[in-house]
Amino acid sequence: MFGIPEREKITFRNDFINRVVVAGAFNNNRSCTEKRQLLKDMYKDSLPLQSDSPQQQYRINIDVKTNQTSVDTNVDDQDHQVTLRSKNMQKELSLMNNSFRYQEVGNAYGTSISFDQAVQPAIDYLKETGVEQLNMMKLQKVNVIGYEMGRQATAEGPIPAWQPASNLINPRLVPQYEAMLGASTSIKQHISNMQLTDGQYILTIKYGYNITERRPDDSIVKGQVIVDMEIERKAPVTIDTVADELTLMHNELYNAFLWSISDNFINLLNQGEEG
């Protein structure tokens, strides 16, 4: 798909996954939140921190004659937002009458299989409450590698803060960072955005680097190399095939990830002892 080669699935010794998110939208269905206690019970062990509140809708009014602005707030007791979280706050499920979202951050994410198993009760709940299809569905995976660079005693000029990104991202995708050498000490973030389409699917890959700290004397630079991928299906997905669709999306993001990174990145994924 997307002209990206399919890769054999292997298990790496390390990963740098910062966040994984699945989300879907469906036709408005108040039964989703009217029966919310069932959902809470389904996740009472894994997501015990639970909040439940009516949805608030805001409308901004602008009087063109007086140029005055006012905000109206409408609270509908029948439209609720349910949010369930793990004790360490690294897993979160949110549900409204027309959408759901589940995410795992940091080391809470184990494998695509365990992630899908955590999502499945929510899909079963949607089916139980009458949702027949998702009108849109997407999966996002964000990979982040932190780095720190110090100036060598004999070095001249600014620290080449772009080098980790140049070393870890596929050379075919890397911009000519060196061409911006004169502005390198001013660059806070350099993220490229690539979007590919294939039928009803859209794949978005954002990659580059982000500077988190720079010493005033430019003696030390800290930053992050980022590979942020999202695949979205615009066409409807029947509720009974959501699990299969999620598996497909994991596979496509896996292929896209290996396509987007360099051999140096793959070596980092395989570093360390087995076990």
Indicate the SS3 state at residue 172. Answer: coil
Q: What is the pLDDT of residues 26-74, one digit of tens each?
A: 999 988 888 999 999 999 999 999 998 765 554 566 766 666 676 655 5
Bridge partners for 137 per DSSP: 24, 233
**Res 115: pLDDT:** 96
Q: What is the pLDDT of residues 189-210, one digit of tens each?
A: 889 999 999 999 999 999 998 8
> Is 74 part of any domain?
no
Q: What is the pLDDT of residues 213-272, one digit of tens each?
A: 888 777 788 989 999 999 999 999 999 999 999 999 999 999 999 999 998 888 888 865
**Res 10: pLDDT:** 78
Tell me, yes or no, whether 137 and 109 share the same domain.
Answer: no
Question: Is residue 261 exposed (0-12), middle (13-18) or buried (19+ Cβ within 10 Å)?
Answer: buried
pLDDT band at 176 (very low <50, low <70, confident <90, very high): low
> Is 117 part of any domain?
yes
Tell me, yes or no, whether 178 and 43 share the same domain.
Answer: no
Question: Is residue 242 exposed (0-12), middle (13-18) or buried (19+ Cβ within 10 Å)?
Answer: buried
Out of 39-53, 117-131, 159-173, 220-234, which region has the weakest mean confidence (pLDDT)? 159-173
What is the pLDDT averaged over residues 176-187? 65
> Is 57 part of any domain?
no
| Structural domain of 268 | 12-26+133-275
Whether residue 205 contacts residue 198, with contact meaning beta carbons closer than 8 Å, is answered with no
Residues 6 or more apart whose CB falls under 8 angstroms from that of 36 comprise 52, 80, 82, 95
The span from the CA of 59 to the CA of 269, in Å, is: 48
Tell me, yes or no, whether 157 and 105 share the same domain.
Answer: no
Q: Which residue has the tokens 């590919």?
A: 196
Amino acid at 93: L
Tell me, yes or no, whether 180 and 102 share the same domain.
Answer: no
Residue 160 has pLDDT above 80, yes or no: no
Tell me, yes or no, whether 179 and 89 share the same domain.
Answer: no
> Is 68 part of any domain?
no
Residue 153 has pLDDT above 50, yes or no: no
Whether residue 74 contacts residue 51, with contact meaning beta carbons closer than 8 Å, is answered with no
Residue 120 has pLDDT above 80, yes or no: yes
> Is 170 part of any domain?
yes
Tell me, yes or no, whether 86 and 177 share the same domain.
Answer: no
pLDDT band at 101 (very low <50, low <70, confident <90, very high): very high
Measure CA of the first residue to CA of the last residue in the chain; give whole Å.
Answer: 34
Residue in 46, 118, 140, 116 with CA at minimum distance from that of residue 88: 46
Out of 87-91, 185-189, 194-198, which region has the weakest mean confidence (pLDDT)? 185-189
Residue 102 has pLDDT above 90, yes or no: yes
Look over the chain and give the mean of its residue pLDDT values, rounded to a whole number.
86
The span from the CA of 205 to the CA of 193, in Å, is: 6
Question: Per DSSP, which regions of 15-122 are E strands?
Answer: 17-25, 49-63, 68-85, 91-95, 99-105
Residue 82 has pLDDT above 80, yes or no: yes
Residue in 51, 157, 156 with CA at minimum distance from that of residue 94: 51
The span from the CA of 188 to the CA of 128, in Å, is: 48
pLDDT band at 8 (very low <50, low <70, confident <90, very high): confident
Tell me, yes or no, whether 40 and 137 share the same domain.
Answer: no
> Is 113 part of any domain?
yes
- Mean pLDDT: which of 141-155, 160-174, 190-204 is highest? 190-204
Residues 6 or more apart whose CB falls under 8 angstroms from that of 3 comprise 196, 198
The span from the CA of 175 to the CA of 158, in Å, is: 18
pLDDT band at 2 (very low <50, low <70, confident <90, very high): very high
**Res 173: pLDDT:** 84
Give the predicted TM-score (pTM) of the model: 0.85
**Res 164: pLDDT:** 84
* Residue 157 CB-half CA count within 13 A: 8
**Res 87: pLDDT:** 95
Question: Is residue 95 exposed (0-12), middle (13-18) or buried (19+ Cβ within 10 Å)?
Answer: buried
Q: Which long-range contacts (CB under 8 A, 24 or more apart) does 238-245 make?
A: 238/132, 238/133, 239/123, 239/126, 239/127, 239/131, 239/132, 239/133, 239/134, 240/127, 242/24, 242/123, 242/134, 242/137, 243/116, 243/120, 243/123, 245/137
Question: Count of domains in the chain?
Answer: 2
Tell me, yes or no, whether 121 and 153 share the same domain.
Answer: no
The helix/strand count (H/E) of the chain reads as 6, 11
The span from the CA of 89 to the CA of 104, in Å, is: 9
> Is 65 part of any domain?
no
Tell me, yes or no, whether 107 and 167 share the same domain.
Answer: no
Residue 133 has pLDDT above 50, yes or no: yes
